[in-house]
């Protein structure tokens, strides 16, 4: 595919990697010093001029070194993703597993810990969404009398998660009434996937005969609400290790990341773009998706809960982040998470 030959390719990578390492415009002699291509600075200069022509790198000002453009980063990341053998530090692999093992029973905590872990290893923003609710099954429903005219509805899902909500009742029901409702709901919706539950609830609500029984109608409404709010609910983030952020030269980088935290809604929009079929994906330059996120990139992957439900994990950091190190980390974290969740089934 490439318009670049093997050698030019290698030099482009050398420039980008150097820039990521040093965060300083890279000149021709810098390249010859750090890498041994067996070429003189003059030759590198010619090649750099060509790369600039093609839009992979650019000069901040005349007679300064070169800095990667967004296009350059994209190309660099693509070649990284093509190498299957992304090597990883054994210690990190071990640490990763150690952090996530043992809390598989508490999905909320597991998600929390995963996001912290991603953040810890990257020093950037770690994000994790829970397995997509549509794919999960509803195992059991309970409605428990709470006060004279209040009841607590509890939804238990196939993966062990529990959702609950207090509901107001227009009159006092006995626990026996509630048990009847519980029974009805379990027969109607027990053991089927949430997406189907949604359909059935909608259908039931449209049937007149049911509407007559106001408690059942109410329960259906609550079910609907609980299921739909599910999605928004559990997105977690962390900025652990931010204190040892690699000399964050640009305060605005930090500001941008902090801004990202503020609006979960936008984050979800971003993550909705992730294609679950592939492995690790990288989005360079998020401003195409969210204008305020200039100079930020995202490395994401997906995991499964051992059944069908898929969730997303990732890192958001400056465009100039260390992809070579972070891509394997995201990849490995997703795989570890899948493994931990599968074993708990």
Partner DNA sequence: TTATAGCACTCTACTGCGAAGAGTGCTAAC
Partner DNA sequence: GTTAGCACTCTTCGCAGTAGAGTGCTATAA
Binding segment toward its own copies, per CB under 8 A, in 75-83, 199-207, 238-246, 331-339: 238-246
164 vs 273, which CB is nearer to its own copies?
Answer: 164
Q: Does 250 bind its own copies (CB under 8 A)?
A: no
Q: List the one residue from 1, 251, 275, 277 that touches its own copies (CB under 8 A).
A: 251
3-class state of residue 225 by DSSP? helix
Stretch that binds its own copies, among 84-92, 126-134, 135-143, 294-302 (CB under 8 A): 135-143
- Cα–Cα distance between 320 and 284 in angstroms, integer? 10
Question: 250 touches which of DNA, its own copies, none (CB within 5 to 8 A by kind)?
Answer: none
Q: Using only the alpha carbons of the chain, give its radius of gyration.
A: 26
Under rule CB under 8 A, residue 258 binds its own copies: yes
Query: Per CB under 8 A, does 152 bind its own copies?
Result: yes
| Residues shown for the chain | 345
For residue 244, the minimal CB distance to its own copies (Å) is 9
Q: Give the list of residues 6+ apart from residue 230 with CB closer than 8 angstroms, or none.
A: 133, 163, 194
Closer Cβ to its own copies, 41 or 160, answer by number: 160
Q: Which is nearer to DNA, 41 or 246 (CB)?
A: 41
Q: Quick one: which of 242, 266, 268, 307 contacts its own copies (CB under 8 A)?
A: 242
Minimum CB distance to DNA, residue 37 (Å): 8
- DSSP, residue by residue, 323-340: HHHHHHHHHHHHHHHHHH
- d(Cα 242, Cα 313) in Å, to the nearest integer? 18
Binds its own copies (CB under 8 A): choice among 18, 69, 115, 240: 240
Q: What would the two tokens of residue 140 be?
A: 């059991």
CA 274 to mean position of chain CA atoms: 9
- Does residue 81 touch its own copies according to CB under 8 A? no
User: Could you give the CA distance from residue 246 to residue 260 in angstroms, rounded to a whole number?
Assistant: 19
The whole-angstrom separation of Cα 203 and Cα 205 is 5
CB nearer to its own copies: give 193 or 344. 344
Of the candidates 207, 190, 201, the one whose C-alpha atom is nearest the C-alpha of residue 227 is 201
The rounded Cα 292 to chain-centroid distance in angstroms is 19
CB of 285 to DNA, least distance (A): 23
Kindly state the greatest CA–CA separation across the chain: 88
Positions in the binding site for its own copies (CB under 8 A): 105-106, 139-140, 142, 144, 146, 152, 154, 156, 160, 162, 164-166, 239-243, 248, 251, 254-256, 258-259, 261-262
């Amino acid at each position: 595919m490439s318009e670049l030959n093997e050698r030019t390719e290698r030099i482009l990578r050398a420039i980008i990697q150097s820039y990521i390492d040093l965060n300083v415009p890279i000149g021709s002699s810098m390249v010859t010093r750090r890498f041994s291509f067996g070429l003189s600075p003059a030759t590198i200069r010619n090649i750099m001029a060509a790369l600039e022509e093609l839009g992979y790198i650019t000069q901040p000002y005349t007679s300064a070194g070169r800095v990667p453009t967004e296009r350059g980063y994209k190309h660099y990341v693509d070649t990284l993703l093509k190498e299957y053998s992304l090597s990883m530090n054994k210690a990190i692999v071990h640490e990763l597993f150690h952090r996530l093992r043992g809390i598989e029973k508490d999905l909320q905590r597991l998600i929390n810990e995963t996001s912290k872990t991603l953040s810890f290893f990257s020093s950037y923003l770690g994000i994790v969404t829970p397995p997509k609710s549509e794919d999960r099954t509803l195992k059991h429903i309970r409605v428990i009398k709470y006060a004279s005219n209040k009841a607590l509805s509890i939804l238990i899902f196939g993966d062990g998660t529990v959702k609950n909500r207090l509901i107001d009742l227009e009159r006092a029901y006995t626990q026996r009434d509630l048990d009847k409702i519980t029974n009805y709901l379990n027969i109607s919706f027990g053991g089927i996937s949430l997406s189907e539950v949604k359909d059935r609830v909608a259908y039931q609500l449209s049937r007149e005969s049911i509407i007559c029984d106001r408690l059942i109608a109410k329960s259906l409404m609550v079910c609907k609400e609980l299921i739909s709010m599910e999605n928004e609910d559990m997105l977690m983030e962390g900025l652990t290790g931010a204190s040892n952020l690699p000399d964050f030269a640009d305060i605005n980088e930090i500001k941008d990341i902090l801004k990202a935290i503020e609006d979960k809604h936008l984050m979800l929009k971003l993550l909705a773009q992730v294609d679950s079929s592939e492995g690790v994906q990288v989005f360079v330059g998020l401003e195409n998706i969210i204008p305020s996120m200039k100079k930020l990139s995202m490395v994401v992957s997906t995991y499964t809960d051992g059944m069908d439900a898929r969730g997303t994990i990732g890192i958001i950091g400056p465009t100039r982040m260390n992809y070579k190190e972070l891509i394997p980390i995201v990849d490995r974290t997703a795989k570890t998470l899948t493994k931990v969740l599968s074993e708990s089934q």
